[in-house]
Amino acid sequence: MIPDTPHTPDTFDVSGVPAVLRVQDLVVAYGQHRAVDGVGFRIAPGESYAVVGESGCGKTTLARTVLGLLRPAAGEVALEGVRLDQARGRDLRALRQRVQIVFQNPFAALNPRMTVARLVDEPLRLAQPDLTAAARAEAVSALLTSVGLADRFLGRRPHELSGGQCQRVAIARALAMDPVLLVLDEPTSALDVSVQAQVLNLLADLRQHRGLAYLLISHDLGVVRRLADRIGVMRAGRLVEEGPTQQVLHEPAADYTRALIAAVPGRGRAALMGGPEAGDEAGSGAAGGPAPGDGARADPSAKPAPAPASGAAAVPASELSAPSSIGSSQ
């Protein structure tokens, strides 16, 4: 159930349906460094929203904040109209069940000693403590069926599964919590092309049949094209462009978006050499202009990135982590 925290009025769209996720003026900082710096967007029920951008731009920080694992320095995160950033204790735990995450590396996300049956049973127990053992066994089997795994997988352990099968188990675990929002953090980038296709088709199906909303994080625009209704393009902690997938991909407004699209390989050698320079500034970097990519750590005199500062504003709130959340210990 949704905890008893007041709704904020502007979480509703015109039809009166609250957004599944509303993020507004969000700032998340590690010490002085604002990894997310004034981000806002909404995800409607059943909608799939992709955040694209390069490494270090703040995607994972954003995801962890949406999961209630990091406290924002400023701004709001509301789930189904309820302020996640203000929730505490039991309310927070209940809210956090509504958002589940599927990580990039399916092996790391699964306890190697557990069987598939136990891996799926574990979150189910937390989500529905009143179910009988028989009812749970039935539910486990149904969940596995919904991700395309037959009962013969029940007794297997992660090392006896392929990457795609592991990712299916991770998805089944997430579904066991009956979330409204699934955060997919590079869900297929560790998978082979043919396995990726299976998982992408599964994710498209699940959304259709369960009305799940997705927050997809990816650097692969082909994957985004498949799974997302809308795209937010993130750069250095900010959204530089947002819009419907087709529009952003075919009529990008921001230079940075254009550079990302131009960098997608596969159009042949002529296109590779003929396309717009994707902000080539390999030299000493920091050439001033907003060129993507290589400038990130281009100053050789720069010190290595600071270690997670203790007392940083973004509290990696371990006391907030319910064991229910898949991989929250990551």
Partner 1 sequence: MTLLTVEDLTIDFPRPGGRSGGATRPVRGVTLTVEPGQTLGVVGETGCGKTLTGLAVLGLLPPAAQARGSIRLDGRELLGAPPSQLRAVRGGAIAMVFQNPATAFDPVRPLRTQFERVIRRHRGGSREQARARAAELLAEVELHDTDRVLGSYPHQLSGGMLQRAMIALALSCEPRLVIADEATSALDVTVAQQVRRLLLRLQHAHGFGVLFVTHNLGEARDLCDRVAVLYAGEVVETGPVEDVFTAPAHPYTKALLAAVPTVDDDGAPLASLPGEVPADVLAVTGCVFANRCRQAADLCRSTPPPARTLPGGRSALCHFADPEVAA
Ligand X SMILES: Nc1ncnc2c1ncn2[C@@H]1O[C@H](COP(=O)(O)OP(=O)(O)OP(=O)(O)O)[C@@H](O)[C@H]1O
Residues that bind ligand X in the complex, under the rule CB under 6 A: 30, 33, 35, 55-61, 305-306, 308
Beta carbon of residue 269, minimum distance to ligand X (angstroms, whole number): 28
Beta carbon of residue 330, minimum distance to Mg ion (angstroms, whole number): 11
In a 13 Å sphere around the CA of 71, the CA atoms on its Cβ side amount to 16
How are the residues of the chain apportioned to helix, strand and coil, as percentages rounded to the nearest 5?
A: 35, 20, 45
Structure-block tokens of residue 42: 């909404």
Burial tier of 14 (Cβ tally within 10 Å: 0-12, 13-18, 19+): exposed
In a 13 Å sphere around the CA of 217, the CA atoms on its Cβ side amount to 22
Nearer CB in complex with partner 1: 304/311: 304
Among ligand X, partner 1, Mg ion, none, partner that 293 touches (CB below 5 to 8 angstroms by kind):
partner 1
Beta carbon of residue 207, minimum distance to ligand X (angstroms, whole number): 23
> CA angle at residue 140 from 160 to 196, to 5 degrees?
50
Total of chain residues touching Mg ion, rule CB under 5 A: 1
Does 223 contact partner 1 by CB under 8 A?
Answer: yes
Binding mask of the shown chain, residues 157 to 196, with x at each position contacting partner 1 by CB under 8 A: --x--xx----------------------------xxxxx
Distance CA 85, CA 69 (A): 10
Among ligand X, Mg ion, partner 1, none, partner that 113 touches (CB below 5 to 8 angstroms by kind):
none
Distance CA 1, CA 251 (A): 41
Nearer CB in complex with ligand X: 60/328: 60
Among Mg ion, partner 1, ligand X, none, partner that 65 touches (CB below 5 to 8 angstroms by kind):
none
